[in-house]
Chain A
């Protein structure tokens, strides 16, 4: 991507998010300084450079589409960028804030703000790809710094990298981690969740909570049925699916399906039957 006349240009844009995925750059340490010497970082407000209108080779986008202004800003970024890469669960799947998509967002806003009419917020929080074409999606809450750096290097060399979306289970095997579902009976989401995190939860003796989104060919309904067979109430199964990546299919449909099985009586959840 480097030409005789200029160095590659990159930008990092932010939408609705916690800023944690931008830290994939800011926590790089020495490689951050090296990157700054090989590319021109034209827009990255948190790090200093501000030029939202810049034409770039790679635009990294953090955050979800959440306000009435966001779609127009995003289309502009798309037009001015050769590659557009989403980083993290918000940009790729709408983020944890997409849980409001399943509720009455207006009611939520007025539950927090005394003057809700002053708040510009769309009813749904949506992934970047629902508004513009995306060249590469990097999942994770947060995205992995290694993945971001690896993808950047690949794109600077002129090709889009392949991202491994096999299940966390495979990563556990590679890391020789003891299965927390088999050994401890924990409701691990590893069988249906994409790797990328390094299987940190199972390695810490806890169940995966699906922060890297659905794995390729995830059989979510089989896992949910298994969890129900272990005695997990429908409401808990629904909450397990409808969490960090709850807007992503097939988590969303399966989660809503289990949510619909919950009967609420005097404020308490009851099992059907």
Chain B
């Protein structure tokens, strides 16, 4: 078999260190990728149907169960849509504390991804515990940051997975001032660790692989986008979330139980790198200064810089949580009354992995008539396939199956695919003819 005419099939039966179940299938013919499929075979759980007939609180508690790693994103996209239908405007205290809670999820999810899922790739380890033998301080710092995110989530939600605090109109419970004071001390320590983490990720041996892609994210008039904003791209898109369906289309492909999505017919990227690319001017001034000192430049079109973008967003999350809890006092009323009303509403927030769009139609008793949820991982599927074709070709299709499989998995992990969200994944096939 000559290098230029390599043919055959590669099969990655289980992709490790991704959240969910899927596989990668690759068919190479005459030295070119003839077909590449990111197979997502996570069984669907039919959430959009099981929500029908349910009231607002059941929706909030149900959609959390779509994803154990980003339940708050689901709860807050849903509650935004529901509150818009019920005609409820949460108080500034609620708005601020929901943002703090969301920061906790970014912190937990990003830190888990950097240390337990992604970093072992760049340093050549099978897993984080294996990596911890050589990099004990770095792994422990990561686990502490993840723990800090979980502490924020517990403060507002009682537990970090499927928290119970959010209701239409606000929260069931306002944390005590003493609890927030203790949390703030941990956040201040975490901010120092986040600075060190950014420098560490920027120093990792990341492959150079610039590609042409469209970055899609929310954009807020003042803040780094988390809980609200318009949907924008770096190619001029600027859209009210209510008009999402006019430009974004979902469609089914035979090899995936997660629907694919396209923007005006083309793949696009959502997630930390896209968010950072589109919102550099919304970073806190101190953080911009830090990036300059470290010589880190964004926007970037190298997907491997996603790990640095996650570290930057960990810093954003901690400094935002600190800013918003300064002078904290528990609200006397952590929620406003939410009357039952019917109508159609939209919610779009920035889940750790990218924009998460919800649409609900409620009847006049505020029960769900129709629900539609577009998670970030299904939006990234087409981009992931496009990236894999380019990256694997660049690495060289004549490399052996193991090398291609490892590189393929590494490419996929940049997107932090959350397949239980999109439904799930893990498996790699290459067919060489």
Contact = CB atoms under 8 A, between A and B. Distances in A.
A binds B: yes
A141 B162 contact: yes
Interface in B1-24: 14-21
A205 B49 contact: no
Interface stretch (B138-146, B230-238, B264-272): B138-146
B127 A115 contact: no
B14 A108 contact: no
B247 interface: no
A206 B164 CA distance: 9
Contacts of A103: 49
Interface string A138-180: 0001100000000000000000000000000000000000000
How would you classify the secondary structure of chain A's contact residues: helix, strand, loop or mixed?
A: loop
A244 B251 CA distance: 29
Interface string A13-40: 0101111111110110110110011000
Interface string A205-237: 110010100000000000000000000000010
A100 B126 contact: no
B142 to A, nearest CB: 10
Nearest to A89: B65
B123 to A, nearest CB: 13
B48 A19 contact: no
Contact of A26 (B45, B53, B116, B165): B116
A67 interface: yes
A263 interface: no
B383 to A, nearest CB: 21
Nearest to B150: A27
B390 interface: no
B49 A112 contact: yes
A99 interface: yes
Majority SS of interface residues in chain B? loop
Interface in A61-114: 66-67, 70, 95-97, 99-100, 103, 105, 108-109, 111-114
A97 B45 contact: yes
Interface in A182-206: 197-198, 200-201, 203-206
Interface string A232-256: 0000100100011000000000000
Contact of B58 (A105, A200, A239, A268): A239
Given A52-B14, A96-B62, A113 B252 contact: yes
B29 to A, nearest CB: 25
A20 B161 CA distance: 6
B350 interface: no
Contacts of B173: 203-206
Nearest to A200: B158
Contacts of B158: 198, 200-201, 203-204
Most chain B CB neighbours (cut-off 10 Å) among A29, A70, A105, A198: A29
B320 interface: no
Interface string B46-62: 10111001110010011
Interface stretch (A4-12, A42-50, A128-136): A42-50
A48 B420 contact: no
A23 B252 contact: no
B267 to A, nearest CB: 19
Given A20-B69, A48-B126, 14 more contacts: A16-B45, A20-B71, A29-B146, A32-B129, A33-B140, A37-B129, A48-B17, A52-B14, A111-B48, A111-B49, A114-B252, A120-B41, A198-B158, A206-B172
7 closest A-B pairs by CB = A20-B68, A48-B127, A200-B158, A36-B129, A97-B45, A204-B173, A108-B49
12 contacts: A14-B20, A16-B42, A16-B43, A18-B67, A23-B69, A45-B426, A48-B16, A67-B41, A95-B45, A97-B50, A108-B50, A114-B252
